[in-house]
Amino acid sequence: MDIRGHMPTIAMLWTASLCVLWASSVLGAPVNTERQKLLLISFDGFRWDYDRDVDTPNLDQMARDGVKALYASPPYLTLTSPTHFTLLTGRYIENHGVIHNMWFNTTSGEKKPYYQTQFVNDWWDNGTLPIWITAQKQGLKAGSLHFPGTASSYQGLVAMVQEVEPLLYNYKNETAWRENTDKVMGWFRDQNVDFVSMYFGEPDGTGHKYGPDSNERREMVKQVDRTVGYIRDSAEQHGLNRHLNIIITSDHGMSTIYRNGLVEEITLSKIPGFSFGDLSFHLVDYGPSGMLLPKPGKLEVVYKALKGAHPHLHVYKKEEMPAHLHFAKNDRILPIVLWADPGYVINGYFPVQFNKGEHGFDNQEMDMKVLFRAVGPAFHKNLTVEPFETVNIYPLMCHILGIQPEVNDGHLNATKHMLVTSIPTSGEFISG
């Protein structure tokens, strides 16, 4: 057949195809014509180096098949709910306002523990939208399983598919981990969900109870690794490998606590010149970090009594907090902020908790750094990248999903080299 008569049509189709590829690149959307799906997984308390003293064949294979960061830096305060909400929003904690695991009321003195705080809606719905809601507003479907913040609504909206763990949930149950994995993969396949955030409560609990250097922690890391292998196998069995990208990270690391006479512990009631009677409210006895609300006229008295009182206790008025912590510009943050050096916790009247491992330290401390792995059609293979802040994971996720991010503190520049498609700077989505 003589094709000369068809040449203009062929040329036009070729030109149109090139235009589509060029537009996809410039607009910052993956060139892959099939819509990308994304699974964000957090293994609570998985320190960046936990794979160094344990055989982790599945995490190692994931690194060969995708991207591994040397480590990632969470924001301060290095506690579970605040750092997870940073993953969902790309905002530092002072900007998204979930400043602690605990909801509290400085007037009544009431405090709610971690689980109950999940259901205090206005603690979470504070003006910053998590990625579930942003994705759904732009026509995608989103889900979340056990991820901190899932129980709340935002501007009256919730994740389309969601599951909140029950009270007294057993976070260590490996059988439940596999059942939850298959459930999430079913959401992707059967309900055509585009994004899911999924949370596992370990190795955090084991690190707290036995310490990060314990055999129990090493055994739990082996369980995590088996689960990583199961997650990838389940994705394949559900026919998702061509579409699904998987990011695995964590909220914070873990540090060994010194006790039993090894060090001089920090106990505020023993500090000369300090009195709990000078406070209207306090959040201490919850690890190495704390906040104080002095009574009217007592700010300087409290501050001067504590400043320099212990060589491993850091005391700041909130407006004088180190800039790298991004933990000052929020009305929920109390006037005096305390934190201890690794190995130490802050006790109030006397020690009331005896964990062998803790987090909540300065996010510059290496013990607080976390793992990062990513695999899927959007990512390069066998690529190791330099450390970055976890605040940058949000714009990366928005890019993969092809959605416009909310104002955030991250930058796609910090992660775009992980991606198969190179995106010109002029085409990036705008980040805060």
Half-sphere exposure of 320 (CA within 13 A, CB side): 10
CA 414 to chain centre: 16
Check: CB of residue 395 under 8 Å from CB of residue 88: no
Closest CA to 282 of 169, 274, 353: 274
**Count of beta carbons in the 10 Å neighbourhood of residue 167:** 7
d(CA 363, CA 93): 12
Check: CB of residue 377 under 8 Å from CB of residue 32: yes
d(CA 426, CA 424): 5
Of these residues, 78, 80, 206, 415, which one is catalytic?
A: 80
User: Using the 8-state DSSP alphabet, how is residue 370 labeled?
Assistant: B
**Count of beta carbons in the 10 Å neighbourhood of residue 328:** 16
Per-state percent for the chain, helix, strand, coil, to nearest 5: 35, 20, 45
d(CA 250, CA 47): 8
To 5 degrees, how large is the angle CA 384–CA 77–CA 336? 150
d(CA 229, CA 59): 8
Phi-psi sector, 285: left (phi>0), alpha (psi -120 to 50), beta: left
User: Using the 8-state DSSP alphabet, how is residue 196 labeled?
Assistant: E
Check: CB of residue 3 under 8 Å from CB of residue 160: no
Check: CB of residue 257 under 8 Å from CB of residue 358: yes
Does residue 175 carry a catalytic annotation? no
Closest CA to 36 of 404, 377, 334, 390: 377
Q: What are the tokens at 233?
A: 């196998």
What strand order describes the sheet that includes 313-317? 279-283, 289-294, 336-340, 313-317
Q: What are the tokens at 265?
A: 């512990």
d(CA 145, CA 165): 8
Q: Which residues are catalytic?
A: 80
